[in-house]
């Protein structure tokens, strides 16, 4: 079984994905890490040296490669991945099950405010403007995210609760 987790940054895709993969005894793959391994450089380096358009092209190719493979896995996509290059259609037309980890603006703001130093996209945004930044992105991306096979609200839930709900959804 291929499971694809989508959602905004800090929605818990990697944390939940790792836990879910261990419960299902399948590998966990973070698409950004997979791209970095394949390209031999960091995503930020790819953006810097090759530009966003080239990054999005590579992202699409690596995603297609994974979805066409025989392997079972839990895959965490980057927050923007579903919104570019027909990636969401690629996921929906594959054998994978897609799940949108849906977090409220308040949850995302609280998490990102605490994680700013590890999140280059929001590191330089003031706390006052962070909420507006997230809201704008969510508005733009929700259309893609909500196409997922399942939408699971994660606000005020522990990782173990989310994983338990996912396991019920998947069976």
- The average pLDDT across 127-145 equals 95
Q: What is the structure's pLDDT at 25?
A: 97
pLDDT > 70: what percent of the chain? 100
Q: Degrees (nearest 5) of the Cα angle 122, 106, 102?
A: 90
Q: How confident is the model at residue 120 (pLDDT cuts 50, 70, 90)?
A: confident
User: Is-contact 121 33, C-beta < 8 A?
Assistant: no
Predicted confidence (pLDDT) at residue 106 exceeds the cutoff of 80? yes
Give Cα separations from 123 to 9, 112, 118, 130, 167 (angstroms). 13, 9, 7, 10, 34
- For the chain, what is the mean pLDDT? 95
Predicted confidence (pLDDT) at residue 123 exceeds the cutoff of 90? no
First-residue to last-residue Cα distance in the chain = 11
Q: How confident is the model at residue 68 (pLDDT cuts 50, 70, 90)?
A: very high
Long-range contacts at 90-93 (CB < 8 A, ≥ 24 apart): 90/60, 90/63, 90/64, 91/4, 91/6, 91/63, 91/67, 91/148, 92/147, 92/149
Q: How confident is the model at residue 138 (pLDDT cuts 50, 70, 90)?
A: very high
Q: What is the structure's pLDDT at 50?
A: 93
Dist CA 72 CA 66 (whole Å): 9
Kindly state the tokens that stand for 123.
Answer: 């590191």
Predicted confidence (pLDDT) at residue 118 exceeds the cutoff of 80? no
- The average pLDDT across 4-10 equals 97
């Amino acid at each position: 079984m291929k499971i694809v987790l989508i959602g905004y940054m800090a929605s818990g895709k990697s944390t939940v994905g790792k836990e879910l993969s261990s419960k299902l005894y399948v590998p966990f793959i973070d698409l950004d890490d997979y791209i970095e391994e394949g390209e031999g450089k960091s995503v930020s380096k790819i953006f810097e040296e090759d530009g966003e358009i080239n990054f999005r092209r590579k992202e699409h190719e690596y995603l297609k490669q994974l979805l066409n493979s025989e392997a079972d896995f839990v895959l965490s996509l980057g927050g923007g991945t579903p919104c570019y290059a027909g990636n969401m259609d690629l996921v929906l037309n594959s054998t994978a099950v897609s799940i949108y980890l849906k977090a409220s603006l308040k949850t995302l703001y609280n998490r990102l405010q605490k994680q700013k130093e590890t999140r280059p996209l929001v590191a330089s945004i003031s706390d006052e403007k962070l909420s507006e930044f997230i809201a704008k992105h969510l508005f733009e991306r929700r259309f893609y995210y909500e196409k997922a096979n399942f939408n699971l609200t994660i606000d005020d839930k522990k990782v173990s609760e989310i994983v338990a709900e996912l396991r019920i959804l998947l069976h």
